[in-house]
Structure 1
């Protein structure tokens, strides 16, 4: 059975545009390799110049050296995946689980959201976690994360 690949979990066009605008730091309507590198660095990635180049090649469909909104949207839209998107979901979870203990705490969520430009408090993050925290431990486990993401994709 094949399910949607929940790569970035953006369904709404306005959500896609907001994320695109965060990547497009100079506001010229396109994402350069340097802008992509800066965002990945802010997310904690240590991508090499070769990795950035490969990502640009994959996403830049018209091969003009930049990622436009249409290319960006095509890249992050859910695609079919043979594992139902579990690998991509685990990668997303691991990005938030900075101490790799199998749980996302309010502090970890707060740190990542602020790194990507979302201003929120730790208390805001605690409220977000509470909405999906089925076992009441104050953190989000991978199973709770899967449920949350599958609900977001419906």
Structure 2
């Protein structure tokens, strides 16, 4: 069972990587990274994009390859610094929490996924939220988000 779960998560990582890799060349450039961050609603400066790139681009070739992306996505992107991990999680949560009320609603999730070109309905987003909504309020709070990201 563990093996199929790992395979599924690697497929998920590849799908997310492909969303970033708009030209399909097998690597993510600074420009592609900045465009995805913009689609998520984050007006990230060029300097900040370069800093993010430097953190993920372990071999220093100026691109994020699938292996580097998988390491970052699966929690290996911050050199094991717990504070940096917490900050990265908070930044990711804040990208989804458009109204800054500390909760991710189905409509906020839908808006972000639509911005990334995902084909999913609002009811699909409600189902995604329900699958991680421990307290049953119809939203994802930061604690629920952290648990979901550690799966």
Place the TM-score, normalised by the shorter chain, in its bin: 0.7 to 0.9
- Once the two structures are TM-superposed, the CA of residue 84 in structure 1 deviates from its matched residue by 9.5
> Which residue number in structure 2 is paired with residue 40 of structure 1?
37
Does 2:10 align with 1:13? yes
Whole-angstrom distance in 1 between the partners of 2:74 and 2:149: 14
> Which residue number in structure 2 is paired with residue 124 of structure 1?
124
> Which residue number in structure 1 is paired with residue 89 of structure 2?
89
- Once the two structures are TM-superposed, the CA of residue 22 in structure 1 deviates from its matched residue by 1.2
CA contact 2:57–2:63 (8 Å) conserved in 1: yes
> Which residue number in structure 2 is paired with residue 143 of structure 1?
143
Deviates more, 1:48-57 or 1:83-92: 83-92
| SS of equivalent to 2:132 | coil
Greater percentage in helix: 2
> Which residue number in structure 2 is paired with residue 72 of structure 1?
69
Aligned residue-pair number: 141
- Runs of 5+ unmatched residues, structure 1: 1-10
Whole-angstrom distance in 2 between the partners of 1:75 and 1:149: 12
CA contact 2:22–2:32 (8 Å) conserved in 1: yes
Aligned CA RMSD, in angstroms, stands at: 2.3
C-alpha distance 85-70 of structure 1, shift in aligned 2 (>3 A): closer
Deviates more, 1:132-141 or 1:77-86: 77-86
